[in-house]
Amino acid sequence: MPAWVKGAATDIDAAIAAAADLLGAARVPIIAGLNAEVSAIQAAFALAGRVGASLDTDGAAGTYAELGALSRVGAMTSTPAEVVGRADAVLVVGANPWKSDLVGRLVGSRPTRGRAAGAERSLLALGAAQDRATVSVSAEGGCLPALALLRAHLRGHLSDDSPVADLTQRLASARYVAVLYDPAEIGEMGVETVQGLAVDLNDKTRGFALAVPGPGVNQDRAVVPVSAWTTGQAPRVGLGRRVPEHDPWRFDAARQIAAGEADAALWIASVPAPRPSWLGRVPSVALVGEADPDAAEVVIAVGVPGRDVGGVLWNEARGALAYRPPQPGASAPADLPTAASVLGRLANRLAARSETAC
């Protein structure tokens, strides 16, 4: 069972003991990454509750652009399958959504359900010229001013014969509009404006926004609901004062490390993810699906969910959590513990310490 302490191979019991010593000695531990199956995310929250750690995720930029806008103005949203099945006009904001599988499904297909069924589907690009788009409208000043201009036209505040006016007309005359965006690309104000656009569209037709992920896959969309039902709050969350405190700025792991606030870190990536540059700048433990003995002071290899072990993961195509069984013939699954089981053993070892915490 692969495990390392200070780069030297050891057995899992010794690695867990070393990890417990490391975390048990910390006054401000952080748990980060959480790029993992739901059972591991749950176990991470339980451990954080015991040791008073804060929790941060891997895909933070997009997650907080989305959550910030949601808590301030709300949202009007659809799902991938609904967009594929119903949309006769798809407005793609920015460059990143064009790289998604979803746009691949939308190009060259027609809606099959609802009042737009059978109609030709137009793909409208805002902010990035695209060969695959029916129409492209550039946005020299960035997506945000272009979106604002579009809203102004839609509301009748502006009227001219510009490409944006043409775009507005195409959206307003469609029967089901989907607005695709990557929150990490357009930022919190961009997300707010997209949501406002979707709301405005419903004065004339039906229109809904849908966030599509940019490059790189992460499990933030699994972390958010688990955090919400476990703590009543979205991530990032700190438990140092024995009460969940949601604060995306304060509990940013990179910021905490850079500011010298944290004195130990636990990095969890049973779903392989690039490790952060700050890992190792404080005493660190890494639970990882792709093990690098030098990644941290204590490294424990865990099963990759959906490959070595079963697990519940965010399914982007469905926009839902789904169980992924282990793949038959995967590499030595019997040897690899689940991240949740390692976290559970860590929590048990640290239980005595938390009971004496103030």
Partner 1 sequence: MLSVIRGGRVVDPTASRDAVGDVWVQDGRVVEAPGREPDRVIDASGCVVMAGGVEVHSHIAGGNVITSRLLLPDLYVSEAAPEGHPFAHAGGAAAWIGSTYARMGYTTAVEPAMPPTHALATQLELADIPLLDRGALTVMGNDDHLLQLLRDGAGKAAVRDLVALNVATSRGLGVKCINAGGASAFKDGALKLSLDDEIPCYGLSTRKIMGALLDAVEEIGVPHPLHVHCNNLGLPGADDSFMATLDAAEGRRIHFAHAQFYAYGETDDGKGFRSAAERIARAIGDNPEATLDIGQVVFGQTVTVSLDILRQFAGRKGANPKKWVLNAGDAEGGGVVPFLYRPKGPTSSLQWAIGLEIMLLSPDPERTILTTDHPNGGPFTQYPRIIHLLMDKGEREREIAALPGIVGERSGLPGIAREYTLSEIAQLTRSGPAKLLGLTDRGHLRAGARADVAVYRDDPNRTAMFTAAKLVLKDGVPIVEDGEVVEWRAGRTLSLTVESDKAMEKRTDAYLTERFGAGLESFTVPDAAFDAPTFEAVPCQV
Query: Which parts of this chain interact with partner 1 (CB under 8 A)?
Result: 38-39, 42, 45-46, 48-50, 67, 70-79, 81-82, 85-86, 105, 113-115, 117, 175-176, 202, 205-206, 208, 224-225, 228-234, 239, 241-244, 246, 310-312, 315, 317-323, 325, 340, 355
Residue positions counted in the chain: 358
Question: What number of CA atoms fall less than 13 Å from residue 346's CA on the CB side?
Answer: 34
Kindly state the smallest distance separating residue 163's Cβ from partner 1, in Å: 27
Instruction: Output the smallest distance, CB 335 to partner 1, in A.
Output: 19
CB of 341 to partner 1, least distance (A): 9
* Closest separation in Å from C-beta 215 to partner 1: 20
Q: What is the DSSP letter of 237?
A: E
Structure tokens belonging to residue 300:
């424990």
CB of 95 to partner 1, least distance (A): 24
Amino acid occupying residue 288: V
Cβ 161 to partner 1, closest distance in Å?
A: 29
**CB nearer partner 1, residue 114 or residue 280:** 114
Cβ distance to partner 1 smaller for residue 151 or 246: 246
Residue 80: phi and psi, rounded to 5, are -55, -45
Pairwise CA distance, residues 358 & 348, whole Å: 19
Residue 305 DSSP symbol: B
In whole angstroms, the minimum distance from the beta carbon of 43 to partner 1 comes to 8
Q: Tell me the C-alpha to C-alpha distance, in Å, between residue 99 and each of 139, 140, 226.
A: 19, 21, 28
Q: How far is CA 113 from CA 180, 202, 208, 317, in A?
A: 19, 19, 16, 18
- If the CB atoms of residues 5 and 38 are measured against partner 1, the closer one turns out to be 38
Tokens standing for 355?
């009971």
Q: Which is nearer to partner 1, 125 or 209 (CB)?
A: 209
What Å distances lie between residue 314 and 212, 221, 251, 273, 319, CA to CA?
13, 6, 23, 15, 7
How many CB atoms are located within 10 Å of the residue 28 CB?
16
CB-nearer residue toward partner 1: 245 or 261? 245
Q: Which is nearer to partner 1, 8 or 334 (CB)?
A: 334
Measured in whole angstroms, the distance separating CA 328 from the mean position of its chain's CA atoms is: 28
Q: Cβ of residue 7: shortest distance to partner 1, in angstroms?
A: 32
In the bound state with partner 1, the residue whose beta carbon lies nearer, of 248 and 272, is 248
DSSP label at 96? Answer: G
Task: Measure the CA–CA gap between 59 and 269, rounded to whole angstroms.
Answer: 12
Nearer to partner 1, 239 or 285 (CB): 239
Is residue 141 packed enough to be buried (19+ CB in 10 Å), middle (13-18) or exposed (0-12)? exposed
